[in-house]
Structure 1
Amino acid sequence: MKNEELNLSINISCTSRSPRKGEINKKDYYFISKEEFQSLIVENKFLEYAYFFGEYYGTLRDTVQELLENGRNVILEIEVLGFHQIKEKVKDFISIFIYPPSIEHLKERLLLRKTENSESIVKRLQKAEEELKEIINFQYKVLNDSIDQALLSLTQIVTQEINKG
């Protein structure tokens, strides 16, 4: 099965944080204010959301619904907390935990990215260690030590799930 036959769309999440260098509004995230985000929470507009590192992140119900109505298989890039919220609300989905070879390897990636200060990196590494404990709750696990191998594994998983019908 070819990739275009998988009908995949990555959902664009919302965040209250400022864009990093090179990020584009409505492409990488919907960048909104904390006040706007909080209003959307009150209006129950999120399928899932979380607050960490002083900022909100979330998945808008309407954007996911629109993709599904257009026949797309939707990819959500979410944290473990979001996964648990989705698990309570959505019956038909697959969960894939993508994990680094080690925390040290993740640290190297974050340092190379040059988008975080040292305090932020420490917090992210602590969060990653906590989230790794949740890996057993996911249907599939994909090691992200090689982009090509990780993409191949992800494609195989999605193809297998689509073929189940």
Structure 2
Amino acid sequence: MPKRPLALWWRAQTAIGLIVIGAAAQAQTTPVGTWRSIDDETKQPKAQIVIGDRGGVLSGRIEQLLRPGVDPKAVCDRCTDDRKDQPILGMEIIRGVKKDEDRDVWEGGRILDPEKGSTYALRLTPVDGGHRLQVRGSIGPFWRTQTWIRVK
């Protein structure tokens, strides 16, 4: 009879462990984290972006510029909003993105290309178990998708 409570204890510990592991895996299937964007032309890392969550609304800032020879003091001289002539390093390039309740997709916000000064409608979709992020920017029927790589 003493073996029965011990078996129940082990089952409970195993269940708790699986729940914790599942929660950790689920946490990685969100855009929240640190990402490396990849240059479309050179296929080299372009910037490191940190995406955060404030009350269910995501935003993202450029934490580091990674291209060789890029001026760390560069400003967004082509921007037309409040980011005009502001430093690109530290700039908020993702604004107002929210999770679609029916899918693992975050959308409804905007993304800025600071080199062109253009903003695009945005959809973020974690893929590959959250190790990669599909970043789709669009203007009307025209769109472009980049894949970013998770750093943290």
**TM-score class normalised by the smaller sequence:** under 0.3
Q: TM-score, normalised by structure 2?
A: 0.23
Q: As a proportion of its length, which structure holds more strand?
A: 2
Larger Rg: 2
Higher normalized helix content (fraction of residues): 1
TM-score (norm 1): 0.22
